[in-house]
Amino acid sequence: MVANLWPFRAIILQSLLLTVVIAIESRVLYQRLKLPNQQPLTPKQAVQYAASMNLLATVLGWLTVFALFELENLLSPAWTQAAQTAVLNVILFSQISDESLSALLILALITFFVSFAIKQAALSGLNWLLRAEIPVAAPDQTADLERKKLAASGLRYLRKNPRNNRAMNVGAVLAANAWSSAAVLAILLILLILPLQFRP
């Protein structure tokens, strides 16, 4: 079976958004995030943390979408057909009515808070998974010179600004999420909403 429609634009768009978001968030996390042992992140770690958090949020988002479509198949068409038509209008034809625009805006707001929660959970999960106390059979070969150097500066930084580490991490994740969401919103505005103004 040769398909008629291919989701290549969605794939390219998502790759673009993920690249932008990871770039922005890794910058913010690099500046503001502290590891549980009070060390700052190395640049590589910042990118890895941002990538893990955002990929997790993306995959969970996809699973939610698939679950909603499954649910839609179970319900009676009389209830869901209008909503399904609106969703298909957006996905297949970029036709956004006023109702679906407001629904999208509400959805964007919900997504912002949910993705913040997911990223916070992902951060604590990563911290748990990557903690040093786990008995390891094969230690990393790379000598952590860079990390030791940064650890020294981090300690100095911490002595100057003694603050609650946990609260600071919430701020870091929230700031990263806000910056990246703003970037995503800008890109989607350019792609989706602006062409509406130039329609004949």
Partner 1 sequence: MNRLTQFLLNFVLLKRVGQILRDWVQQVQTRLTNIKPFSWEAMLMLSLFSWFVYLLLRGFYAKKFVSVFAWVFLIIGSDWGLMKQQVKTWLIGFPFQYGPWITAAIASVALLSNDFIVTSWQGALISWPILAAIFAAYPRFIQPGFKFGLPGAEGRQDIVLLFLISGLFSSWFQFHFLIQDLLGTYPSLLNDSFERSIFVTRFNAPPSDPAVPPDSPKARELLIATEANIRQNLTGKDWIATQQWLSRIKTLDPDLGSQVMASVYGDRLSREQRLWQISADVGMNAANNANLDLILTVRWLGASSRPGGYQLRQTCLVSQVTDQPPPQTFEQMQRQTGFLLTCQNPVAE
Q: How far is the CB of 73 from partner 1 (least distance, A)?
A: 9
Decide if residue 135 touches partner 1 (CB under 8 A).
yes
């040093």: which residue's tokens? 132
Determine phi and psi for 161, rounding to 5 degrees: -120, 80
Decide if residue 121 touches partner 1 (CB under 8 A).
no
Q: How far is the CB of 66 from partner 1 (least distance, A)?
A: 6
By C-beta, is 66 or 113 nearer to partner 1? 66
For residue 34, give the DSSP letter. Answer: B
Which stretch in 83-91, 113-121, 153-161, 170-178 sits in contact with partner 1 by CB under 8 A? Answer: 83-91
Query: 43-74 vs 98-129: helix axis angle to the nearest 10?
Result: 130
Euclidean distance between CA atoms 52 and 58, whole angstroms:
10
Choose which of 67, 91, 106, 170 interacts with partner 1 (CB under 8 A): 91
Distances from the Cα of 198 to the Cα of 49, 160, 192, 194, 195, angstroms: 40, 55, 11, 7, 5
Contacts to partner 1 from residues 159-188, by CB under 8 A: none
Decide if residue 51 touches partner 1 (CB under 8 A).
yes
**DSSP SS3 for 40:** strand
Using only the alpha carbons of the chain, give its radius of gyration. 21
Look at the alpha carbons of 172, 173, 179, 182 in this order and tell me if their dihedral is positive or negative: negative
Euclidean distance between CA atoms 24 and 171, whole angstroms:
15
By C-beta, is 146 or 171 nearer to partner 1? 146
By C-beta, is 24 or 122 nearer to partner 1? 122
Choose which of 74, 92, 143, 167 interacts with partner 1 (CB under 8 A): 92
Choose which of 31, 62, 71, 155 interacts with partner 1 (CB under 8 A): 62
Which residues of this protein are in contact with partner 1, per CB under 8 A?
A: 3-11, 13-14, 45, 48, 51-52, 55-56, 58-59, 62-63, 65-66, 69, 77, 81, 85-86, 88-89, 91-95, 97, 126, 129-132, 134-140, 142, 191-192, 195, 200
